Amino acid sequence: MRRLIRAGLLTIPLCLIAQNFPSDGEDPGKAPDLLETVCPGHAPISQHIQCAITCPKFTVFHGEKFDWSLARVTRGHFLSATSEDAALWMEGCEPHSENFGGTILMTRRSNQWVMLWYKPGVQTDRCHKVALDDGREILVCIGMYGAQGNNSTVLYVEDLRKPEPTLMAGDAGFFKASDNTLTCGYRSDDKTPVPLVRGHIEQVEFKNNGRTISIIAGFGKRSMSREDVQRCLAATASTFVPVTRRHQIEFVFDGHTYSVAP
């Protein structure tokens, strides 16, 4: 398999978020102890919980009449080995450049939940907890973003002691993968079309208490002529989707992030 490793980042074309990702998040409706603190007068909307119909003052779209909703809750020991914390993924009051949402960090003090901060662009929708040597936990998350037929899927580390925006909003993570099949390889400058690349993740598995991550993914690539591009655009892109082959990649934890295993 052709791989590109640059500045610790492994890039492989990818089209779908892995269905077999061991997310530790729970549906917001299963967190009644948090709802009254974050969403007074809450109402269920599909799998989300509506918190307000006007965006809070600390969001980008503050004052706008958009649904601000709680979409996912991940509980853990994010501040210390003994703290009781919760990361709340919120949607509805941020632009595409901030991943359409942000995270609230709650901690439990004197038997009450207290909101510590809200960070736009910090996405904690699908995350798995990994314990550090001192017992505190960090998150390994998977997310997707894209525009104009180019999509990227990213695996990244989120340490809620020092949260950083990810995906569209910032950090590229330790494993970034892209899929451009919807573009048909078209280039507006009429130069040689870009090759089509396609991939998918079948599984993300955590081993050795999260110190090793094993990924099973598919990858395919094909060249495109100008004639191919025109036929692809006039018909359906699926006709030109590359055939994929299956590969396994492993990453190891270095105490801060994950790197490709030797």
DSSP string, the chain: ---EEETTEEE----S--SB-----B-GGG-HHHHHHH-TT-EEETTEEEEESS--TTSTTTTS---EEEEEEEEE-SSSSS--EEEEEEESSS-GGGTTEEEEEEEEETTEEEEEEEEET---SSEEEEE-TTS-EEEEEEEEEEETTEEEEEEEEE-TTS---BGGGSB--SEEEEE-GGGTT--TT-SSPPPEEEEEEEEEEEEGGGTEEEEEEEEEEE---HHHHHHHHHS-GGGGPPP-EEEEEEEEE-SSSEEE--
Q: Which of 125, 146, 174 is the last residue of a domain?
A: 125
**Domain check: are 117 and 151 in the same one?**
no
Q: Tell me, yes or no, whether 182 lies in a domain.
A: yes
**Domain check: are 86 and 155 in the same one?**
no
Instruction: Specify the pLDDT at position 121.
Output: 94
Does 5 have pLDDT greater than 70? no
Q: Which of 92, 125, 158 is the last residue of a domain?
A: 125
Highest mean pLDDT range out of 38-47, 125-134, 146-155? 125-134
| pTM, full prediction | 0.86
Q: Tell me, yes or no, whether 133 lies in a domain.
A: no
**Domain check: are 6 and 96 in the same one?**
no
Does 6 have pLDDT greater than 60? no
pLDDT tens for each residue of 165-215: 988 888 778 988 788 888 898 888 878 899 999 877 789 999 999 999 999
Does 16 have pLDDT greater than 80? no
pLDDT tens for each residue of 73-110: 999 999 999 999 999 999 999 999 899 999 999 999 99
Instruction: Specify the pLDDT at position 150.
Output: 84
Q: How many domains does the chain have?
A: 2
pLDDT band of residue 138 (cuts 50, 70, 90) is very high
Q: Which residue has the higher pLDDT, 237 or 181?
A: 181
The whole domain housing 173 covers 1-22+138-254
**Domain check: are 228 and 205 in the same one?**
yes
Q: Tell me, yes or no, whether 130 lies in a domain.
A: no
Instruction: Give me the mean pLDDT over the 43-59 stretch.
Output: 83
pLDDT band of residue 18 (cuts 50, 70, 90) is low
